[in-house]
Structure 1
C-alpha cells in the first residue's frame, strides 16, 4: 500500500494564520497536530498539539516541573491571552526542523520509519511539493493491524 492510498483529508493552516484559531481547531477536532503551509501553499512544517501545549507553559516551569504545583489554576484562563494576536509561526520551533513528509508512492514501512525517526504524530503526503493528504499515527496503526 502506498502513502497516497493511506492519506486522508486533513485541515491545514498557513504560517500566518491566527494561532488561537489553530489551537481551537486542534482542540475541537482532537487532532494530534496540523500541517502548516508556507505563503505559496506548500507544506513547510507540522505543528503537533504538544508543541502548542509547550508554548503555553512558562519556560521556568518547563525547566522545573515542581513549580507547576504553585501556579494557580487561573493560569489556564490566560491561555487565550497568550495566543491572542499571534500567528502560527510563533508556535513553530525557531530552529529549522525537517518536514515530516513522505512521497505519495512511499510504502507503509517508509511512512512508519519517518514517523518513528521524527517522533511526529502525523506526516504530510506530498507529490510535486503539493499536499496530497495526511497520515496520522492512529491511521497507520489501523492499517498495519488490519489482516491482509
Structure 2
C-alpha cells in the first residue's frame, strides 16, 4: 500500500489566513494537527495541537511548570485575546519546523517511520509534476493505525 492510497482530504489553512479562523477550524473538526499551506498550496507547517497552545503559556511557565499554580484562571488571557489580529504564520510557534511530507508512492511503513521520528500525528501527501508541487491530502496517525490493524 502506498501513501496515495491512504491519503484523505484534510482541512488546511494558509499562512495568511486569520489565526482565529484557523483555531476555530482546529477545534470544530477536532484535528490532531493544523496543516498550514503556503500561498502556492505547498505544505508550510504541520503543527500538533499541543504546540498551538504555546501562545497561551508564558515562557517562564514553560521553563518551570510549577509556576503555573501561581496564576488564577481569570488572570490568563483567552485564546481569542491571544490570537486577535494575528495571521496563521504569526501564530505558529517558532522556529518553524518543516512539515513531514511524502510523495504519493511512499510506502506506508515509511510514513509510519516518519511519524515516529518526527513526533507528528500527521503527514502531508504531495504530488509533483516537476514544476509545481501540490498537496493532495494527508495521513493521520489514526488512519495509519487503522490500516495496520486491518492487516492480516
TM-score band, normalised by the shorter chain?
over 0.9
Closer/same/farther in 2, CA of residues 93 and 73 from structure 1, 3 Å limit: closer
> How is 1:1-148 mapped onto 2 (pairs within 5 angstroms)?
1-75=1-75, 78-128=78-128, 129-148=133-152
Q: Secondary structure at the match of 1:114?
A: helix
Could you list the per-position Cα deviations for residues 69-127 of structure 1 after superposition, in whole angstroms to 9, with x for gaps in the alignment?
12111245522100111011123243342321111100110101111111111010001
Q: Moved runs in structure 1, 4+ residues, more than 3 A?
A: none
CA deviations 1:9-43 (Å, max 9, x no partner) are: 11000001111111111111110112111122211
SS in 1 for 2:72: coil
Change (3 A) 1:23 1:75: farther
TM-score normalised over the length of structure 1? 0.93
Count matched residues.
148
In structure 2, what is the Cα distance between the partners aligned to 1:76 and 1:25? 23
Retained in 2: the 8 A contact 1:14–1:37? yes
Question: For residues 117 and 91 of structure 2, what CA distance do their matches in structure 1 show?
Answer: 22
Q: 1:101–1:123: 8 Å Cα contact kept in structure 2?
A: yes
Tell me how large the CA RMSD over aligned residues is.
1.4
Question: Structure 1, unaligned stretches of length 5 or more?
Answer: none
Structure 2 length-normalised TM: 0.91
